[in-house]
Amino acid sequence: MKTKQIRQAYGEALVRIGEKNERIVVLDSDVANSTKSCLFGKKYPERFFDVGISEANMAGMAAGLATTGKIPFINTFAAFMVLRAGDPIRSLIAYSNLNVKIAGAYSGLSDSYDGASHHSLIDIAFMRAIPNMSIISVSDPIETEKSIETCLNIDGPVYIRLSRAEVPYIYDNNYKFKFGKGNILVDGSDLTIIATGYMVHKALDAAKLLKNEGINARVVNIHTIKPIDTELIIKCARETGAIVTVEEHSIYGGLGSSVAEVIVRNYPVPMEIVGIQDVFCESGDYEQLLNKYGLCAENIVAKSKLLFSRK
């Protein structure tokens, strides 16, 4: 199985878009070697600003840069992006709809060993509730590349949810990334598993296991969490009659909430939300941690079967 680190794909994509577009400037707050924004910094040192451990200042500076027509990409761990840079992101960037791209590295549990203080399980909830903000959550290296290119077409703030993890390829180079449009990866009629980010390949694994048990699950990748693909979600509800969502995020305010909001208004069907319950997690190996908190194929299968029996 071919794999690549999301952060590496991100850093390389930054270098590529930086070559074509001189308005792009990149800021980091002393984690450039981790986020891989350092790759841009090596290539274009005059357009790279490492402002030290001052995330709020970084976001504020980006707001100022954007008012002049620059396109800043700001970088830090997703946890600190939300918790430290949150005010300038909302009050300066989003309020004025400034063209700043916000790259949240190490989201979910992917910075697993550093522990609960570094995990990022509330970023979708926070970003989603901010007007003007778009949210992209990438599932593999190709989607990372394509979404970085595509987000330049959006004249306003975009939160890009990245990961520290080494991820198997789901797509190939022919993949057409369409902002705001989910992808059906596997068709099925018994229920739909809607996943995002690192959970997409787990959802694919779960669908295989379900097939062995005679359940045909449809698998959908929702890479754009805001604006969400309402049309596709309603279609899945109508055609499969049940939806399981899977995300590496709190069960409050993330993908599951977004999907639930769509279906309760339009086409109510039974639903399960797989995500982190209302708890702080802990340090540990990434996969072990995901398993412990139910972010694994086995738990998706269990929840799917439960849901199927309720249909």
Partner 1 sequence: MILSNAQEAKLIDLCKKFRKELIECLHAVGSGHPGGSLSATEIITTLYFCELNVNPKNPNDPDRDRFILSKGHAAPMLYLNLAEKGYFDMRELCNLRQLNHMLQGHPCAKTTPGVDLSTGPLGLGVSAAVGMALAGKLDKKKYNVYVLIGDGETQEGIIWEAAMAASKYKLENLIVILDHNKVQLDGTIDEIMPLGNINAKWESFGWKVIETNGHNIRDISSALKEAKQVKVKPTIIIAETVKGKGISFMEGKNIWHGKPIDDEHFNIAMKELSGGN
Ligand X SMILES: Cc1ncc(C[n+]2csc(CCOP(=O)(O)OP(=O)(O)O)c2C)c(N)n1
Chain residues in the site for partner 1 (CB under 8 A)? 28, 30-34, 38, 50-54, 56-57, 79-80, 83-84, 113-118, 282-285, 288-289, 292
Q: Does 80 bind ligand X (CB under 6 A)?
A: yes
Which amino acid is present at 135? I
> Which CB sits closer to partner 1, 132 or 288?
288
Return all residues near 283 (Cβ < 8 A) that are at least 6 apart: 112, 113, 114, 115, 116
User: Which residue in the block uniquely carries the two structure tokens 């402002």?
Assistant: 51
Surface-to-core class of residue 45, CB atoms within 10 Å of its CB (0-12 exposed, 13-18 middle, 19+ buried):
exposed
Q: Does 286 bind ligand X (CB under 6 A)?
A: no
Angle between helices 199-212 and 297-310 (to 10 degrees): 60
Least distance CB 35 / partner 1 (angstroms)? 10
> Which CB sits closer to partner 1, 81 or 142?
81
Q: How many residues bind ligand X (CB under 6 A)?
A: 5
Least distance CB 53 / ligand X (angstroms)? 5
> Which CB sits closer to ligand X, 75 or 221?
75
**What does residue 272 show for φ and ψ, rounded to 5 degrees?**
-130, 140
Residue 272 annotated in active site = no
Of residues 55, 179, 17, the one with CA closest to residue 9: 17
Query: Rounded to an integer, what is the distance from CA 30 to the centroid of its chain?
Result: 22
At 216, list the tokens: 């045909």
Return all residues near 134 (Cβ < 8 A) that are at least 6 apart: 151, 154, 156, 157, 158, 159, 179, 224, 226, 227
Least distance CB 73 / partner 1 (angstroms)? 16
> Which CB sits closer to partner 1, 104 or 182?
104
Site string (82-121) toward ligand X, x via CB under 6 A: --x-------------------------------------
The sign of the torsion formed by the CA atoms of 73, 257, 300, 291 equals positive
H-helix or E-strand spanning residue 283: none
- Of partner 1, ligand X, none, which one sits near residue 54, judging by CB under 5 to 8 A according to partner kind? partner 1
Site string (46-75) toward ligand X, x via CB under 6 A: -------x----------------------
Choose, from 19, 22, 46, 55, the residue flagged as catalytic: 55
> Which CB sits closer to partner 1, 102 or 259?
102
Q: Does 31 bind ligand X (CB under 6 A)?
A: yes
Q: Which residue has its beta carbon closest to ligand X?
A: 30
Return all residues near 295 (Cβ < 8 A) that are at least 6 apart: 109, 199, 202, 246, 248, 274, 275, 276
**Which of 12, 30, 187, 205 is in the footprint of ligand X by CB under 6 A?**
30
Can you give the binding site for ligand X, defined by CB under 6 A? 30-31, 53, 80, 84
Residues designated as active site: 55
